[in-house]
Amino acid sequence: MRSIASAPGKVILFGEHFIVYGGKAILCSINKRITIESQLSNSDKIEIDSGLGTISVSKNEPLQNIDPVFKPVIYVAQKILQKFNSDSGLKISITSEIPAGVGLGSSSACCVAAASSISGLFSNYSKEEVLQLAIEAERTIFENVSGADSTVCTYGGIIEYSRDGKIKKLDFVPKFQLVVADSKIMHSTSQVVSKVKKFKDDNPQVFSMLCDKEASLIEETLGALKKNDLNTIGAKMNQNQAHLEKIGVSNDLLGSMLGTVNNVAYGAKMTGAGDGGCIIALVNDTNLDRVIGALRSKNYECFAAQIDTTGVEQKVKDSP
């Protein structure tokens, strides 16, 4: 038997960094996916083949010895094999439509898809069980991960997420798309988070004020989202970008990319940790081509993304 599962990537529409300090974030999943196929083997190995490389280790290999690139998937594999007292090994294949390391949730989508695919060899996990295992896997790399990324990769759609783990899926049909443009600058999330903490410690009053402004912005945005009010949503994206620039997580290239779409998109901002990664621009059918054309005229790599409303999907097939 082989078990196949896929999970979507994501973008943060609002609230990155501020959620760490008690705020909210609004995230959405996008129609770019990571697919994982798992199959039991007769060996005592866990073998992974992916676009980031390959690895073959004993299924009892201590986790601290594992390359961080593969550690979350190995964690999931070991936990599932142990839970179901399996003597088998595992062969795991990972294919991705999501660029790695640019803030589009590739790590979280991989954890979610792995949890669903590998558990599917033995059981029928609920989305809640998949999510819990995915967050555990993420924490083998990022100890203080909020769980927001894995949540939206699991459930799909647009969610409101609080730092205490409360989630609310927004019940409306989005009438917009996003254009995602990649700066091609890889970033370290942990380094950027540390940078924000330093800003907070050095400027406590300013940071507190920005947290309050971000909280108000998100509450206003929630109402605009339900009305599909693109003009208001876009204006709030621009305001959110100004907050992120204030705490020092943007850079000149991201600013240039945002300037390129300033007069053609409803609004635009960086998404994710910052100091690189991607920007997102709010569009619909009336300006999609113009936004993509403006970015490509400056040789920025970009693509249109629709909101994925499905989340993680599992399909189990018998071996040929």
Q: Are residues 206 and 138 in the same domain?
A: no
Positions of the chain with pLDDT lower than 70, given as ranges: 317-320
pTM over 0.85: yes
Residue 192 lies in a domain: yes
Count of domains observed in the chain: 2
Residues 160, 166, 172, 177, CA torsion sign: positive
Read off the CATH number of the domain in which 147 is found.
3.30.230.10
Final residue of a structural domain among 149, 173, 197 = 173
> Which candidate in 44, 49, 87, 149 is catalytic?
149
162 and 141 fall within a common domain: yes
Instruction: Count the alpha carbons within 13 Å of 135 in the hemisphere toward its beta carbon.
Output: 16
Tokens linked to 292: 């993509």
Do residue 27 and residue 161 come from a single domain?
Answer: yes
The string over 141-151, giving b where at least 16 C-beta atoms fall within 10 Å of a residue's C-beta and e elsewhere, is beeebbbbbbb
- pLDDT for the residue 13: 96
Statement to judge: residues 49 and 87 lie in one domain: yes
The Cα–Cα gap between 134 and 132 comes to 5
Boundary (domain end) residue, out of 147, 173, 199: 173
For residue range 139-160, list pLDDT tens digits in order. 998 887 778 899 999 999 999 9
- Are 140 and 226 in a shared domain? no
Q: Looking at the domain assignment, is residue 230 inside a domain?
A: yes
Residue 105 contacts residue 33 (beta carbons within 8 Å): no
- Same domain? For 79 and 182 the reply is no
pLDDT value of position 1: 82
The yes-or-no answer on residue 149 being catalytic is: yes
For residue 154, the model assigns a pLDDT of 96
Q: What is the structure's pLDDT at 319?
A: 57
* Same-domain pairing of 211 and 294: yes
Shared-domain flag, residues 202 and 169: no
Domain that holds residue 54: 2-173
Contact (Cβ atoms closer than 8 angstroms) between residue 106 and residue 34: yes
Residue that finishes a domain, picked among 155, 173, 191:
173
* Residue 17 and residue 108 in one domain: yes
Report if residue 313 sits inside a domain. Answer: no
Closest CA to 271 of 166, 167, 187, 168: 187
CB 159 within 8 A of CB 168: yes
Q: Quick check: helix, strand or coil at residue 222?
A: helix
Q: 11 with 145, same domain? A: yes
pLDDT at residue 318 in the model = 65
